[in-house]
A = this chain, B = another copy of it.
Amino acid sequence: MTVNREIHLASRPQGWPTADNFRLVETEVPTPGPGQLVVRNQLMSVDPYMRGRMDDVKSYVPPFALDAPLDGGALGEVVAGEADGIAPGDTVLHGLGWREYALVDARGARRVDPDLAPVSAYLGVLGMTGLTAYAGLLDVAAMKPGETVFVSGAAGAVGSMVGQIAKLKGAGRVVGSAGSAAKVERLRVLGFDAAFDYHDGPVRDSLRAAAPDGIDVYFDNVGGEHLEAAIGAMRLHGRAAICGMIAQYNETEPPAAPRNLALVIGKRLTLRGFLVGDHGHLRDRFVQEVAGWLREGKLSYDETVVDGIARAPEAFLGLLRGENLGKMLVRL
């Protein structure tokens, strides 16, 4: 009998999580019941939002349970079970990552075509990550051609899509911030008009230098000082799509910034938080458009891959520290 290994939440982090908050547990490979599939996971996603689920607070998704496996986006091959037109040998996308073998309800699995694109794309550029960028920029922030767009966390999976999609959709100027010189260099290669390392000085000053005439749209992955700088740089009727605030997920004290929120009045700004789940109506248009850009070589994406279920916690901690370029994945 094959052993299944999975990662449990051993304890809830106080502030920054550590390896001690996770536990590798061996279990049995499950047996499928009616309507169920057993999937041998090949890739799993680690995402910043998972940090919030480690706290015991009510949110849009329930918190992770202690002494139970974590979950999240994953992709693998069906090895047992048959339902809803899915059969062994199929590659499916589902929500039960952090384990080598997943017992999945067939209705919660979606078959993907491994010949159409590298399967990892379905967890990134062609998946939730890509749709988050697409929906946030075009639907939530309603970017118009000619506008100046600023995105933080720009070398991450979502941020790098935001900047490139903005250019492809006619943005006048696209500015990105990231956490290292190498990432900044990568953003220039991806076609950003300007990019800066937020360690190099106050974000406000770097942003002013990169966008001297101000910005119209801010795509926020970071919060805190970045959001404050963006509000300060906004032009009349600017919009911020608030996707994440990774700068504060591990803070035990609430952030002081943005301290300039009163500017939303005189500048008539709109700040709007969003989750990709509300924007499913864009999925068909998104897949068609993004797949086209990929085929034509107009859109590039990076992946940072860590090997083995035992290193999944390490991949997640690295993501929180910004050690990834593009999408952070664990190969199982």
Contact = CB atoms under 8 A, between A and B. Distances in A.
Interface of A: 52, 59-60, 223, 227, 236, 242-245, 248, 254-256, 258-275, 278
Contacts of A254: 256, 259-260
B273 A59 contact: no
21 contacts: A59-B266, A60-B236, A60-B266, A223-B262, A227-B261, A245-B262, A248-B262, A255-B259, A256-B259, A258-B261, A264-B273, A265-B273, A265-B274, A266-B273, A266-B275, A268-B272, A268-B274, A268-B275, A268-B278, A269-B272, A270-B271
B248 A265 contact: no
A242 B259 contact: no
**Chain A, interface SS category:** loop
A264 B275 contact: no
A242 B272 CA distance: 13
State the number of copies, please.
2
Given A52-B266, A60-B267, A265-B274, 9 more contacts: A59-B266, A60-B236, A223-B262, A227-B261, A248-B262, A267-B273, A270-B271, A270-B272, A270-B273
Most buried by B among A227, A236, A261: A261
B270 A275 contact: no
A274 B243 CA distance: 22
A267 to B, nearest CB: 7
Contacts of A274: 265, 268
A57 to B, nearest CB: 10
Nearest to A254: B259
Contacts of A271: 264, 270-272
A252 to B, nearest CB: 12
A275 B275 CA distance: 28
Given A254-B259, A259-B254, A260-B254, A265 B275 contact: yes
List the 3 shortest-distance A-B pairs measured between CB atoms, nearest first. Answer: A264-B273, A254-B259, A265-B273
A25 B252 CA distance: 55
Contacts of A243: 265
A22 B261 CA distance: 29
B265 A245 contact: yes
